[in-house]
Chain A
Amino acid sequence: MKLYCLSGHPTLPCNVLKFKSTTIMLDCGLDTTSVLNFLPLPLVHSPRLSKLPSWVCKDGTINLEKELKECAGRVFVDSQPEFCLPERELLDLSTIDVILISNYHCMMALPYITEHTGFTGTVYATEPTLQIGRLLMEELVKFMERVPKAQSATCWKNKEIQRMLPGPLKDAVDVWTWKRSYSMQEVNSALSKVQLVGYSQKVELFGAVQVSPLSSGYSLGSSNWIIQSHHEKVAYVSGSSLLTTHPQPMDQSSLKNSDVLILTGLTQMPTANPDGMLGEFCSNLAMTIRAGGNVLVPCYSSGVIYDLLECLYQFIESANLGTTPFYFISPVANSSLEFSQIFAEWLCHNKQSKVYLPEPPFPHAELIQTNKLKHYPSIHGDFSSEFRQPCVVFTGHPSLRFGDVVHFMELWGKSGLNTIIFTEPDFSYLDALAPYQPLAMKCVYCPIDTRLNFHQVSKLLKEVQPLHVVCPEQYTQPPLTQSHRSDLMLELQPPPMPYRRCSVLNLPFRRRYERVYILPELANSLVPSEIKPGVSMATVSAVLHSKDNKHTLQSVPKPPPVPPSKKRKRVMEEPPVVLAPKPLLSGAVPLEAFLATLQKHGITEVKVEETADGHILHLQADDTLIQLEEDGTHIVCDNNEPLRTTLRDLVLRFLQKL
């Protein structure tokens, strides 16, 4: 059993598990942090961005005037932003049988995997994962296609040149493999390969293994996966949460007793408690509005935003913010808000029960109804006529490199009254803000990551008791910036197996058993003999028939009777001669009794030597050895066949025949 690790990002995993005869890809997360190296894509022409000076190498040897721009001491690539894809050289992606998706954040690389690689398999995901995943992909494509860039910078990727570049660009890895966004057509094609599954539904893969998704509590339709055969069980834990937010709670008990547990998707912010962050979010928001400023919240169009809106729903009244408008701007804003209301069966119990009342599960419906929350596909059109300040704007993309957020950064960045509040944990806020410097706007970082923290995961692992744990190497040491926090790492016995991008792990367990079915008529013909109370044995002669990874024992076909024929025919094939099988022996030779028997037969000079596995009897007079071991008995007796036969018979006396 092997695990190929195609992504080094712990929360955007992409691993391939070879298990029995199947090749299963676990998630295909897209690392979008690469876009931080690019200049933002403004929706409206930005004089500031267009006037940025080109970067010039100190010694003037390199001239990449068109590709690299400098802003506040940092260098950015002036080109369509590109993403860092999962590793595609480690194994042949066309051999992948299935892809299991855990949540909509972990499927963004799907089109890169399923298209143009020869992939012919199936993708399994829950319905909300598929639908919201589609929305996020659609949004991404729209963000990119709305502001096409004529040129595509590639010169800077030249290894010789990259080495000379400053800052984070120099250290960026695998830049040659970075790719521009996919098209809507590719998205559609990729998503057409998705087969929907429900929680705890069991899906057979080629008869070899069974996979089933379990609720993971992190987002709508998010799941962990169980991959099991009759004798082995692998648990794949991706983004999971134990907090009571909107999704169905995490199913922990089904993870019990796995041989291997692959652990990914822990919180990226182990020191930031989501409740505290939510409080921080609200108070900073209120503070800004009271002072007459605007609040910008760069966020994804699904996920934590539902919880933010719910929290604000309660908060705005108590903070006297009832008259402040809230805007949600995204090409998919409408669908996202509506989808969340219809996936009742995927919601937490509390919200599920609301479905039976004349009341939508999420309170944002009421915010929309009372005109407190308004949503628009973009800043163009209706929004510009209804826009009122001070206000709160939720919009993407959280990297601040594309999407409507870029416009608001340009609009509000100059005033110290305004505040930008980061809630998504995926991007470093300092890096995100780099191309906007100098910035007068107040910045608040309160990342809300509801995924498991180290304390919760230790408790979880104690309960579910996997034999082995595999996890990204980042989880096996304290965070780089807080090396004293030994509480922020996994400490397990046996220690977890760490992986990094491009690792290939041999998972530490051997498959020892396989289930074989036996046909009734064959079973009928068996003659079991009891070898110890409760345990019977029988010999079987049969033909093993294997199909679709199912193994069946069938009776040996009788040779067809030779048809009476007058024609003399050369027998082409001798029917297999079925020999009566030799009886099988079982039991052990007890040393004392055996010595006594030897003595009776006149063999007296026996020297007994104890070995690691049993005994060696040295019949000194006859220069003969008898090795009595746990799983075999050897008689070494040259040139004395009668003695050998005698000895053999004596040994046989002590053994049972089957």
Chain B
Amino acid sequence: MLITHTHTHTHVSTMDRECASLLPSVCEVLADSGRSVPDDTSLEKLLDWFTGLTEAGGSLLEACPCLLKFISTVVHNTASDPGVLSFTLRLTGLMAATEDGFKMLQERSVLNQVFNLQHWQEAGLWDDPCLRIGWIQGLRSTLQHPKALSFFVQSDFIDPLLQLQTDTSLFVASAANQMLAHILLFFQKVSSAGSNGVNKKEEDLEPPAITMETSAEYSAVVKGISEYLKESLIPKENTKLHQSLQILKLLALLLAQAGPPLRDKLLQTVTESLEELVTAGCSQLTLPLMDVILAANSSSCPDGRVPGQRVARILSSMLSINNAADLCHAAAALLRRGHHDTVHTARAVRILLLPLDIITGPTLLGTNTTADEHLFSVVEQLKSKTSCISMICVCLTNTPQITLTPPGVLPCPPVLIVTAVVSLLRICSGSSSSSSTGCSEVCRNVIGSGKVQKCALEALTALNSSPGAKEKISEVFTILIQYLDNPDSDPTVLHKSYQALVKWIRVCTDLSLITDQLRQDLVEVVKKRACDMRWEVRDSTVEFLGHLAGVHVSVTLGEEVCDASEALLGGCCTTPLLKEALQDTESYVRASAISALAKTLTHSWQQGAALTEDQTEIVSRLLEILSQDTEGFPRRAVVQYFISWFFSRSSHSPPSSSTSSTSLLMQCVRTVLSQGSADLDWEVKVHTLELAELLLDQAFSAHRGYRKGSDAHCALQHPYGVVSDQAYTLHTHTGTHAEGVQSDLARVVEQGVISALLSGLVDCDRPVALKACRLLITLRETICPLSLGALDATAAMATVSCELLGKGWGQEITKILGMEKSDRALETDISAQRSFSGADGGGDSVTVSEVLRSLSLDERLEVLTQSSDHIHNSPLSLLQDILTASAAHTHPDTKPGQEVIVDCY
């Protein structure tokens, strides 16, 4: 058993014999340029497998000596497929990743051949991006130890690698960048060993063995690369923009991870170029440049060393560039980075607030906006519609962040920002009058812009946590209700307005802040939107009602807490609207209405309140949906409705009187279980099993040894581990235990739980069968612990039986039991004999405990746990596939190299 369990791990870490025997022929196939090549993915998978083997500590060379031959064959055959060549290069790199492997390959001069640039260029293969990326990735895998570094330096690979950094293929260029970063970062400790070693503590990986030689080599590499960065950072003409972009990316990568010596060295070399780049003011480079500057700034120590000051200066000039849109982006980048230098943060905040200030009228920045020297250029930019919208959106996206900056940094109290966003929303809807707004030429650009509306609503939603938000609640409600009422609001805008409303309701601890007029308006608008022509809007409205019910507020300070929908909408509006929505033509709306109803009623369920007529009506409608609705979503929602009802109920008091909602629930459960487990939709079935699980929990949680659904999963890893322990404890209490279990079991059978589980077990949908199987195992462990054995089953237990229908799942179960029976023909089991006697197509009655023991649940679980593609995913099948494919393709007519090779890695 144990072996099968760890089976899946086995084939990753060690090479099993079967694979080892197939590998040589696979190598042969791959090396034969005449044969057609398997598709890219199988080579990738093969490589993944090899990587797995290497990482597990195995030596590829030892495990599969054939690979060496394979490599030299392929490398010497220029007619090889580029895909296979690329694969070979990467494989070689993988093998040279350990010093031993490297040494062996070098002794056989394989490395020199494989990574010989000239060789590939002469063969005309270098033009294939596939090969170039293979070369880079192969080298990168190799560069894990000082010997590799020497090899790299001595082979003069640094220049070609730098060239590849601006390769026409984006993938190659990016790989080259990663590789450059890897070299500098991986070996950076080498240099510190050479110097005084500033950062000895920070060692994480085992340091590469350091010699004076490697140290010198490393310095040469650093020098070479940083000189190159310095030289090429400034775009000579527009066409070179790509190069600058790449270098900035590399720099950002390096600066974020470099230790002090490397970082200082880099900064010393490139600072000047960076300064130049900032003054050049190239829009496309703004963001990557900002990334570099911020990375440099955050890594430089606050001890006031010279590079730190210079970087700060660059940052300052970045925050005063001329192009207003770029400036906004730069400022936003600074804030996003969570930079904590107050001077720059304050400046960034001002920059980001300025456009908002211009549009909504001067309130945010005080009267001295003229001091912002770029005011004029911002206004000019805002006058053009496209740049206006994009700038405003950048500003809005950052407003929540802005309100979180320390008070000293903000030019105004955070609450004014809320006011500004609200005014902007007013302007956007065209309702703001001229007196309160700012520049009218700018305002007209945002009137009716859906994009700005959405951004502003998102900002407003996030601003609910900003200090002082509470005093703005009435204003915010007014604008949101206005948006909800506006006939021109598109469905997304309405959705976001609802979201904002829910968030802002949470802000008010005291609902008296919201006037009666506002409440009335909200009721009207919600009623209207519940009848909207667009189903998305109806859906959002129904969802909103549900969310509202989930928010608890107090009506006035200190008073009793109730849910927000009752407090805001007066309670008389929600349920009728949701009931209406149950009839909606759109299934999503019906589904949302059902879950919203569940949320609305949760409170009364928890209180154990008496059943209302409304509730009974809803329940019968829900059962109707479960049995008749043609769409899956509403049916799923119905089952979940009952789950949450059950859950809310059971967390409180047990069923008391027959008029309580709980008794209705228990009546419904049987129907839900039988309808739900016969549903066509697998998710409905899974939810039904979840309900069954709750019933099991309820029945048996009081019994020792019963594991609730939540712990069941971890238990499954060791199906027998716990049981033996349990069996022991159970044994001592057999008498009383069995009786209690028996009555509980009888109730569970009566509720239809067992039927639901059994029908789930034979379901063709794996998740359903799996869930059912797990639950059945849990049940079996509770009612008939193993150690008691079949013979020890008490008579009491044996009396609890359930019906198996003569068709469908019942028949299926009967069949399985029949097979089991014939296996155990020798056993004399009276109850079982009795159970199987009536095979005339009618309902059979079987003993539950017997069924549980006879279904070989553990074997089933074993099969069900494995993913459906587990057979196809093994390395063995991969190797077999390659061989079969090649055999099938080796047709006299097939010419090699006819397939189109796509640049996709």
Interface residues in chain A, defined as those with a beta carbon under 8 Å from any beta carbon in chain B: 271-273, 276-280, 282-287, 290, 311, 315, 317-320, 446, 482-487
Contacts and interface: CB of A to CB of B under 8 A. Distances in A.
Contacts of A484: 432-434, 437, 440, 443
Contacts, number: 62
B28 interface: no
B446 to A, nearest CB: 10
12 contacts: A272-B487, A273-B487, A276-B486, A276-B489, A277-B487, A280-B487, A283-B529, A290-B531, A311-B533, A484-B432, A485-B430, A485-B444
B597 to A, nearest CB: 18
Given A283-B528, A283-B531, A287-B531, A318 B586 contact: yes
Contact of B531 (A277, A286, A311): A286
B488 interface: yes
B535 interface: yes
B534 interface: yes
Chain A interface SS verdict (over half): helix
B535 A485 contact: no
B106 interface: no
A290 B527 CA distance: 10
Interface residues of B, number: 28
Contacts of B586: 318
Contact of B532 (A279, A482, A483): A279
B757 to A, nearest CB: 39
Contacts of B487: 272-273, 276-277, 279-280, 446
B580 interface: yes
B620 interface: no
B444 A487 contact: yes
Given A282-B531, A285-B531, A317-B585, 18 more contacts: A271-B430, A276-B486, A276-B488, A279-B532, A282-B533, A283-B529, A283-B531, A284-B528, A286-B531, A290-B531, A311-B533, A315-B533, A318-B533, A318-B535, A319-B531, A484-B434, A485-B444, A486-B440
Contact of B447 (A283, A287, A315, A485): A485
Contacts of B534: 279
B528 A287 contact: yes
A46 to B, nearest CB: 31
B612 interface: no
Interface string B513-536: 000000000000001111111110
B532 to A, nearest CB: 5
B512 interface: no
Give the 9 A-B residue pairs with the shortest CB-CB distance, closest first. Answer: A484-B434, A276-B487, A286-B531, A283-B531, A276-B488, A318-B585, A487-B444, A280-B487, A282-B533
A290 B430 CA distance: 32
A485 to B, nearest CB: 6
Contacts of B434: 483-484
Nearest to A280: B487
Chain B interface SS verdict (over half): loop
A599 to B, nearest CB: 61
A290 B528 CA distance: 11
Contacts of A315: 533
Interface in B551-587: 580, 583-586
Contacts of A279: 487, 532-534
A319 B533 CA distance: 8
Contact of A487 (B437, B447, B533, B535): B447
A280 B486 CA distance: 9
A280 B527 CA distance: 12
A381 B63 CA distance: 100
Nearest to A286: B531
Interface in B804-858: none
A303 B526 CA distance: 31
A272 B434 CA distance: 19
A186 to B, nearest CB: 41
Interface string B46-81: 000000000000000000000000000000000000
Interface centre among A273, A282, A320, A487 (most CB of B within 10 A): A487
A311 B580 CA distance: 21
A623 to B, nearest CB: 65
Contacts of A272: 487
Contacts of A482: 430
A290 B531 CA distance: 9
B647 to A, nearest CB: 32
B523 to A, nearest CB: 11
Nearest to A319: B531
Nearest to B576: A290
A443 to B, nearest CB: 13
Interface in B404-433: 430, 432-433
A273 B528 CA distance: 18
A290 B538 CA distance: 15
Contacts of A285: 531
Contacts of B443: 484
Contacts of B440: 484, 486
Nearest to A289: B531
A277 to B, nearest CB: 6
Nearest to B485: A280
Interface in B244-277: none
Nearest to B432: A484
A282 B585 CA distance: 15
Nearest to B444: A487
Contact of A287 (B433, B527, B583): B527
A283 B585 CA distance: 15
Contacts of B533: 278-279, 282-283, 311, 315, 318
B532 A283 contact: yes
Interface string B480-508: 00000011110000000000000000000
A282 B441 CA distance: 36
A284 B430 CA distance: 23
Nearest to B580: A290
Contacts of B447: 485, 487
